[in-house]
Amino acid sequence: MTRLETERLYLSPLAEEDVAEIHAMNSMEEVARYNTIGIPSSMEVTRTMLEPVIQGKGQGNSLAWVVRLKSDRSFVGEIGMNLKPERYRSGEVFYSLHPTHWGHGYAFEAVKSVVDHGFSTMNLHRIEAGVAVDNLRSIKLLEKLGMTLEGRHRKILPIRGEFSDNFHYAVLDIDRQ
């Protein structure tokens, strides 16, 4: 898997040594607020969840990177893409950042890098993203990236024991020309 680089960030393929930082981040209530995996009960749960991606045997071709600052290599978060079967030339991007790095534009920079990589290097036709309807920061990010709101899925996201609505966004290769 390819290492990506932006002006301020390194995106490196997820590795075993990243598990502890990802576990700590995903154990934070504010990070788990809109995710469907919930707060992991232990480091072993996080390791088990990440192991297929680390070993390159991700479900349906999952790609994942750890995001670090270039300036001091500090952990910023994680980002990934789940690829659909090859004939669709499509993937769904997902991301999660440590709250200390919210509001600095790192999410935009990292997601843009992965989307650009998907179109330019992987020859994808379509990149999608789902977002809880109350997650205003992510909605703003996806729209800034040029993604189009395509619909609303009612009561589809299992979040903290209840089902939440989800907005479905996408950008096509032809949208970026």
Per-residue pLDDT of 24-58, as tens digits, reads 999 999 998 998 888 888 999 998 888 888 876 55
> What average pLDDT does this structure show over 87-96?
96
Least confident segment among 31-35, 109-113, 151-155: 31-35
Sign of the torsion angle spanned by Cα atoms 112, 117, 120, 122: negative
Question: What is the pLDDT at residue 59?
Answer: 52
Q: Is 25 left (phi over 0), alpha (psi -120 to 50) or beta?
A: alpha
> What average pLDDT does this structure show over 109-116?
98
Give the closest residue to 44 by CA, choosing from 21, 20, 62: 20
Question: What is the pLDDT at residue 37?
Answer: 82
Is residue 123 classed exposed, middle or buried when 0-12, 13-18 and 19+ CB atoms within 10 A define those classes? exposed
Q: Spell out the domains of the chain, with CATH numbers in brackets.
A: 4-129 (3.40.630.30)
Sign of the torsion angle spanned by Cα atoms 6, 88, 15, 24: positive
Q: Give dist(CA 12, CA 30) in Å, integer.
A: 24
Query: What residues contact residue 27 under an 8 Å CB cut-off, 6+ apart?
Result: 39, 40
